[in-house]
Chain A
Amino acid sequence: MPQVLFTLHNGTVMSVAAATGHSVMEAARNNGVPGIVAECGGAAMCATCHVYVDPKWLGKIAAMSDFEDELLEGTGSPRMETSRLSCQIPIDDGLDGLEVTVPPSQY
């Protein structure tokens, strides 16, 4: 299974195995990655699964919808160029080794 690397707020890196077809949010949730709240359960409704994607991976992940774009305007931690909602990033084999950083807070 592809591995996703989460850099936590304290600098720790957690590497988790992610099933193809799951989202990065689900991979985080299923493996107990702290800091990915995902209150709406992946419906792109709550902006609490915000992550910063390592720039070298940005071009390889699914494009952002207008709706995600708007939700990112409401994130608890500042939006940056690399901001995405992890529930909107489906995992495939091409994303093995994907690196994302968990923001300090989702609120």
Chain B
Amino acid sequence: MSVGSPTLVRASRAPVYEVDIYSDEVIRDPYPHYRRIRALGAAVWLPLNGLWAIGRHADVRAVLADHVNFRSGHGVSGNSAANKIAPGNLLASDPPLHDHLRRIVAAPLSPRSLAMVKERIEETADALVDRLVQRSSFDGMADLAQYLPVSIVSELVGMPEHGRENMLRWASAVFDMLGGDNERAAAAMPIIMEMRAYTANEATRDKVRPGGWVAMLYDAADQGVIRPEQVQVLMRDYLGPSLDTTIFATGHLMYLLGQNPDQWQMLRDDPTLIPNAINEAVRLESPIRGFTRYAAADRHVGDTLIPSGDRALILYASANRDERRWERPDTFDVKRILTDHVGFGHGIHSCAGMQLARLEIRSIVTAMTKQVKSIQVGEPTLAMNNVLRGYERLPMTFLAA
């Protein structure tokens, strides 16, 4: 963006935060930066990213609810190159297209559809925890958090084998492209192209698992509900978010339970707290830190004008720690009342797969309450990603009950 552009002139009277929000430094420890952004104002200009940052809980909720003026159809990335190639899928769409696509993409993710896989997920989680309890130590990410997504969800999606193997790598690249225009995004681009070539050339009707989610997209095309070329695009709504986000949320919950043995004891004493504990982990360590919206009209956020055509970064991970909304925002409290956290987003683009994510995590933690007395965690290694927050590795030990 050139100096003297309308945006910069208008932004000159707005609060400014001169830190690259997608830099390594911020990714490693984002929360102090979010606190400063919240303190500066409701909408804060990030000159190094050419984005407005929205970090307070009330404003994040309001902007996400206003999908007419803060649109997704021009893409939701912080990276303009990515926004040029993204539109057309569910994540990057506006009504009425969005509502149409959501019905199709979310069909296998409804509570009723998931009832069919519930028992299998629960049994697999029981067996997994049973094995992990017998090990002296394990990697909470590769051995625990990844297990259900990789073994069951990737099968539900129903890509051919080669695709299943690559889903984690592709998804990570997709999320790097949903953030800033930096080296991580540049490195992600060829991987995205590889994924797109795969969806076009290999995830063909005859190779996908019959009855799987991708096969259901082909069925929808057969029925004339979507156009044949949309199958490709919608496939990516499954490939991107179905694994990493759940994996990272699981890792966060494990680490937090390991760090807070009193909270773990509460879950053992009362497993009905488990769904709330999942929400609390997603609040405190939101796996998706933020997506952007395109301002379709001049809109005020707080007393700051966001000019039409500008782009706002909606910081879920900041809203979820906003001291204006949360008491002791940095504390993990499984009994906290938190139905309005935005860790799964808010409004029409709220996470379509949240039921499945919660089912997977609930199944693991429920199995743990039966078999695990205490959880020991070591120092986690952070995955460096432009949008996601999660661990690459997390040393863990379960002590048997």
A interface, CB within 8 angstroms of B: 29, 32, 37-41, 43, 45-48, 67, 70-71, 73-76, 106-107
- B323-353 CB mask vs A (1 if < 8 Å, else 0) is 0000000000000010110001011101010
Q: Is B112 an interface position by the 8 A CB rule?
A: yes
Q: Is B99 an interface position by the 8 A CB rule?
A: yes
Contact of B339 among A29, A43, A71, A107 (CB under 8 A): A29
| B337 pairs with A39, CB closer than 8 A | no
| B354 pairs with A76, CB closer than 8 A | no
Q: Is B152 an interface position by the 8 A CB rule?
A: no
Which chain B positions have C-beta within 8 A of A74? 107, 110-113
Q: Is B370 an interface position by the 8 A CB rule?
A: no
A74 to B113, CA, bound (A): 7
Chain B contact residues: helix, strand, loop or mixed: helix
- B346-384 CB mask vs A (1 if < 8 Å, else 0) is 111010101100110000000000000000000000000
| A43 pairs with B111, CB closer than 8 A | no
| A38 pairs with B112, CB closer than 8 A | no
| A46 pairs with B350, CB closer than 8 A | yes
A45 to B352, CA, bound (A): 8
Which chain A positions have C-beta within 8 A of B347? 41, 43
A83 to chain B, nearest CB (A): 12
B83 to chain A, nearest CB (A): 23
- Known A-B contacts A67-B99, A76-B112, A107-B111; the reply to A43 vs B348 at CB < 8 A is yes
Q: Is B275 an interface position by the 8 A CB rule?
A: yes
- Known A-B contacts A32-B337, A37-B275, A41-B339; the reply to A48 vs B348 at CB < 8 A is no
Measured CB to CB, the nearest residue on chain A to B109 is A74
| A38 pairs with B113, CB closer than 8 A | no
In order of increasing CB-CB distance, the 10 nearest A-B pairs are A74-B110, A76-B111, A40-B350, A74-B112, A29-B339, A43-B347, A107-B111, A45-B350, A41-B346, A39-B354
A-B contact list, 5 entries, CB within 8 Å: A38-B339, A40-B354, A43-B346, A70-B103, A73-B110
Measured CB to CB, the nearest residue on chain A to B345 is A40
B250 to chain A, nearest CB (A): 17
| A41 pairs with B350, CB closer than 8 A | yes
A43 to B355, CA, bound (A): 15
Which chain A positions have C-beta within 8 A of B110? 47, 71, 73-75
A77 to chain B, nearest CB (A): 8
Q: Is B301 an interface position by the 8 A CB rule?
A: no
- Known A-B contacts A74-B111, A74-B113; the reply to A39 vs B348 at CB < 8 A is no
Most A CB contacts (10 A, CB to CB) among B111, B346, B347, B352 go to B111
A41 to B102, CA, bound (A): 17
- Known A-B contacts A32-B337, A38-B339, A41-B339; the reply to A48 vs B111 at CB < 8 A is yes
A32 to B352, CA, bound (A): 25
Which chain A positions have C-beta within 8 A of B112? 73-76
| B114 pairs with A107, CB closer than 8 A | yes
- Known A-B contacts A37-B275, A39-B344, A107-B355; the reply to A47 vs B111 at CB < 8 A is yes
B18 to chain A, nearest CB (A): 33
Which chain A positions have C-beta within 8 A of B113? 74
Measured CB to CB, the nearest residue on chain A to B359 is A107
Which chain A positions have C-beta within 8 A of B99? 67
